[in-house]
Amino acid sequence: MDYSQKLKYHFRPQRGWINDPNGLVYFDGYYHVFYQHAPDYEVPWHQPMHWGHARTKDFLHWENLPVALHPDMPYDKDGCWSGTAIVKEDTLYLFYASIDRSESDGRSEQSVSIAYSKDGIHFEKYAGNPVIPHFSPDGSKDFRDPAVAYINGKYYCVMATGYKETQEGRLLLYESENLFDWEYNGIMASWPNCKYTECPSFMSAENGMCLLAASVCKLDHRFFSSMYGDFKDGKFTIRYSGVVDKGPDQYAGQVFRDHKGRNLLITWIPGWAYQGWAEKDVGCFSVPREFTCVDGKVTAYPVEEVRHLLTDSDPAVQRTKDGFIIERTNRAPVIHQGEVRDLKILRDEYVLEVFVNGGECIYSVLL
């Protein structure tokens, strides 16, 4: 497999490290994608995290933009970590986890800060940062990745965290009238036998429901959970849930609601397992998938703009009597067992996305 091939449809920067998608939003005629970024290195942790930035109108042609967030303030000097974006009164606001490992002046090392922009390219950090300076007693120092939404006339912020005393992964909920002053509401969701959660998403969805999603870090594995439910008086009640993307090369997905009312998922396809096999990291982002919930079943399927890229077969995918096998280079094959009523494949050089039964199950794979 030639990992030096340039990808055609899966976004990655021209140089530098990429991981979690951040701040996915439609603003001023473009879909904007921000991302965790080390602009000067092909591997992480040699410099504090920045927010890289790109935009597109069709999810096929990408324009690289200048780095949006630099770790240049006392409260974020150790990194501008993951978060989300929201538009209010023609202004684009970025909410991010601001990292200060010194814990000076009583600050938690992981807090929430804001940057804003009128043109969607040049950002100014809010003078009152951080707007959520410390984790709640219901959480821990693993307190990050703000997911901000506007629902029923109020702003909400979902925070990812863990609770070590009971080994729970938790999502905590905050409320605001103005995006800047936040009050803690309580525990929104939790999972047992976990270290913590990461990269939540929260928004309105079809049929009067809301969509809540998060990467859940169990004690022995990780998975991406998507939940549809009722949200009233600050309380989220799960009605339907699913783990749609089975990976194995998938993590830190983020969902956002676009101007067409679609809930779109873009996930990170990590290149960790291929480190040293190529001159640069081979990680990238998935194509956007549209989340839906039909008859209680959660699905995610490529957006209309990229569906013409789907095929019915691929040399790496071999059908079997009870499913199929995806062969990978120098790694164990991916085996799917179960009914296959429909199979669609999107191939982009060494990246494969396989959609089973209309998106009831997805495999994101580096070959």
Q: What is the pLDDT of residues 273-325, one digit of tens each?
A: 777 677 778 899 999 999 999 889 999 999 999 999 999 999 999 999 999 99
Which is more confidently placed, 331 or 352? Answer: 352
* Helices and strands (H, E) in the chain, number of each type: 0, 28
Q: How confident is the model at residue 10 (pLDDT cuts 50, 70, 90)?
A: very high
- Measured distance CA(255)–CA(266) in Å, rounded: 7
Mean pLDDT over 3-22 rounds to 93
- Measured distance CA(113)–CA(97) in Å, rounded: 6
- In this structure, which amino acid lies at residue 321? K
Q: How confident is the model at residue 104 (pLDDT cuts 50, 70, 90)?
A: low
Residue listed under structure tokens 């990780």? 222
Is the pLDDT at 73 greater than 60? The verdict is: yes
Q: How confident is the model at residue 107 (pLDDT cuts 50, 70, 90)?
A: low
Is the pLDDT at 105 greater than 70? The verdict is: no
CATH architecture of 17-305: 5 Propeller (2.115)
Is the pLDDT at 215 greater than 70? The verdict is: yes
Among 51, 44, 10, CA closest to 280: 44
Tokens of 358: 């209309």
- Measured distance CA(9)–CA(287) in Å, rounded: 7
Domain with CATH 2.115.10.20 in the chain: 17-305
- Whether 2 is a known active-site residue: answer no
Residue-wise pLDDT tens digits, 342-364: 999 999 999 999 999 999 999 99
Beta bridge mates, 111: 98
305: left (phi over 0), alpha (psi -120 to 50) or beta: alpha
Q: How far apart are the first and last CA of the chain?
A: 7
Mean pLDDT over 146-153 rounds to 96
pLDDT at 67: 98
Please pick, among 20, 100, 145, 249, the residue that the annotation labels catalytic. 20
Is residue 324 within a helix (H) or strand (E), and if so which, with residue range?
strand 323-328
> Pairing relation of β-strands 297-302 and 289-294?
antiparallel
